[in-house]
Amino acid sequence: MTYASPRGIRRQSAQAYQSVGLETQVLSATPERLITLLFDGAISAIAKARLHLQQGNIAERGMAISKAIDIVDSGLKASVDMDAGGDLAKNLVLTYELILHHLMQANLRADDEKLALAETLLKDLGSAWREACDVPKEPARLQVHS
Spatial separation of the C-alpha atoms in residues 35 and 33, rounded to whole Å: 5
pLDDT value, residue 14: 46
pLDDT at 23 over 80: no
Which residue ranges make up each domain of the chain?
19-130
Residues in the chain: 146
Reported as a pLDDT band with limits 50, 70 and 90, residue 29 is: confident
Spatial separation of the C-alpha atoms in residues 34 and 25, rounded to whole Å: 9
pLDDT value, residue 69: 98
Residue (of 77, 74, 67) closest to 42 by Cα position: 67
- Tens digits of per-residue pLDDT, 36-89? 999 999 999 999 999 999 999 999 999 999 999 999 999 999 999 999 999 999
**How many Å separate Cα 61 from the centre of its chain?**
16
pLDDT value, residue 31: 84
DSSP assignment string, 98-136: HHHHHHHHHHHHT-HHHHHHHHHHHHHHHHHHHHHT-PP
pLDDT at 6 over 80: no
Q: Reply yes or no on domain 19-130 having CATH 3.40.50.300.
A: no
pLDDT value, residue 13: 46
Helices (H) and strands (E) in the chain, counts: 5, 0
How far lies 123's CA from each of 42, 58, 126, 132, in Å? 9, 24, 5, 14
> Please, how many CA atoms are within 13 Å of residue 44, restricted to the half-sphere of its CB?
7
